[in-house]
Structure 1
Amino acid sequence: MTTGYVHGYSGREATRLGDQADTLAELLHADVRYPPGTRVLEAGCGVGAQTVHLLANNPGIELTAVDRSAESVSRARSRVAVAVPSGDVSWLCADLADLPYPAGRFDALFVCFVLEHLPDPVGVLRGLRRLVRPGGAVTVIEGDHGTAVFHPRGRYAQAVVDAQVAVQAAAGGDALIGRRLRPLLTAAGCTEVRVWPRTVYADAGRPGLMDGFTRRTFTAMMAAARADVLAAGLLSAADWRRGMTELAATAVGEGTFHYTFFVGHGSVPAAEVE
């Protein structure tokens, strides 16, 4: 499996992922609950930003966390050791399309902010779903940059967002994938599929979200795409600066920002035969 992770693997990106996970933990993990003893596979754990919340909210689970980046797995291991030292985690560095587990090995699958980076999200999700026992649970969480609505509305800021979407598409991903989460889960063979929007709205009355999401998550994500956007000739350096200045204005004063994530749940068919 190939994937172009457009956000990169820098220390700054690891910090951004942690900020994002902590800011959105209640919003995204509110209905992600597993009883003690549940064997959960977290596919694409990255630096462990979501892993710590899985463990904190679900004490007693047996978690297997996988990522293709050895550096990310190392950071995840360190993060969990500090944040949830009692967590039961097995770590693996491997390609998600080639995991060394038998069919039905797990009770549940958790995939967060991973499918957006894959050229074949249905194929990978189908393969991961086969690792979950019949009747087991599948949870997928993704965002959709097309839902970003902000004030003040600046055309250069919108151009920055559009350019980041284009760069991710050129790398084989889809920053608009949230809107097609249900058909993805269905095509991967899941049944009883349910998808809910999880909306973030930040303004002066929610200063924590203005800082944690608008500035340190979304705007920081756009900033990380600068080199790729300029190299592709999608924006000039001057227009990029104008766009980032306009985005920064949405996180101060009377600025506002809206974004929608999508949380999908499905089941593995009970009668499925591998």
Structure 2
Amino acid sequence: MRDDYVHGYSEREAVRLVDQAKTLAPLMHHDTSYPEGSRVLEAGCGVGAQTITLARNSPQAEITSVDISKPSLNHAKALIQSEGISNVQFQTADIMELPYEDETFDHVFICFVLEHLPNPVGALLSLKRVLKKGGSITVIEGDHGSCYFHPETEEAVKAWQCLIKVQTDLNCNPLMGRELYPLLNEAGFEDIQIDPRVVYVDESKGELVDGFIKKTIIAMVEGVKDQSIDSGFITPETWDKGIQDLHRSAEPSGTFFYNFFKGTAKK
């Protein structure tokens, strides 16, 4: 597993991840829960943004959350403690070299991680090794190629494409969502189900205007500003205009569309 996370490990990024998780929890996790006594591995937990919902949805499950970044794990521990959650333990670990015996866990959960890995099938095989026979895996990914917004300007599209370009240059896959089925299939999982989770925002959905467009999407694009300009992919003037135009999608006359994919399968 790599530690050169495209969005970096700043406090601002930690806040963005938590805001994103809170905003998307009803859409992503209304059907995410695990039975009492089950052992669950959360792979690539980051700052604990998804961990809160996992733990609350399954208060009687035993959750082990791992990440390669010690600063992220420290943030996650503090976040979980502040919420008074007690059914989670954390460990520093590489998804590609998990320090667990074969068939240790009843369930595996991984969210917004595969897109950042150069070998997603290898990661799935590693997770499959520690999953019990008949156990389940849940995988959630976005797909940056599914983004549409209004009003759409040349500069706004260019700014959005910066996000795709930077991730691609790091050998990541910003279009991971659409590939979940073939990846899970290649890794040998069974009973694969892929469920698109659509986010559509207009002014009637005020909580998503703020939580998704502003605090999740635009904040994510703004996080690759320096890489985009330094690489020469976009000029500072086009960047500023593009970000300004993206903000127009959060105004009363604007709309925004994005597609996530949630996959489940069994070993």
1:50-72 Cα offsets, whole Å, 9 max, x none, are 00000011111100000000000
Partner residue of 1:19? 19
Q: Check whether the contact 1:60–1:87 (CA below 8 A) recurs between aligned residues.
A: no
In the TM superposition, residue 4 of structure 1 has moved relative to its aligned partner by 3.2
Alignment of 1:1-274 (within 5 A): 1-2=1-2, 4-83=4-83, 85-268=84-267
SS at match of 1:136: strand
Secondary structure in 1 matching 2:79: helix
> Within 1, Cα distance between the matches of 2:266 and 2:159?
38
Query: Segments of 4+ in structure 1 off by > 2 A?
Result: 1-4
CA RMSD of aligned residues (A): 0.9
* 1:181 CA displacement: 0.7
CA distance in 2, matches of 1:232, 1:183: 32
- Aligned-partner SS, 1:116: helix
Task: Give the stretch that moved more between structures: 43-52 or 244-253.
Answer: 244-253
CA drift at 1:3: 5.0
* C-alpha distance in structure 2 between counterparts of 1:138 and 1:110, whole Å: 6
Letter in 1 for 2:63: L
1:81-115 superposed Cα distances (whole Å, 9 cap, x missing partner): 112x2431121112111111011000000000000
Conserved in 2, the CA contact under 8 Å of 1:186 and 1:193?
A: yes
> Which structure 2 segments of 5+ residues have no match?
none
SS in structure 2 of the partner of residue 111 of structure 1? strand
Which secondary structure does the structure 2 equivalent of 1:6 belong to?
A: coil
Give the Cα–Cα distance (whole angstroms) in 2 for the partners of residues 61 and 221 of structure 1.
32
Partners of 2:3 and 2:114 in 1: CA distance = 10
In 2, Cα distance between equivalents of 1:111 and 1:2: 15
Alignment check: 8 A CA contact 2:98 2:126 kept: no
CA distance in 1, matches of 2:240, 2:85: 45
Whole-angstrom CA distance in 1 between matches of 2:116 and 2:203? 32
Task: Report deviation, 1:2.
Answer: 2.9
Identity %: 45
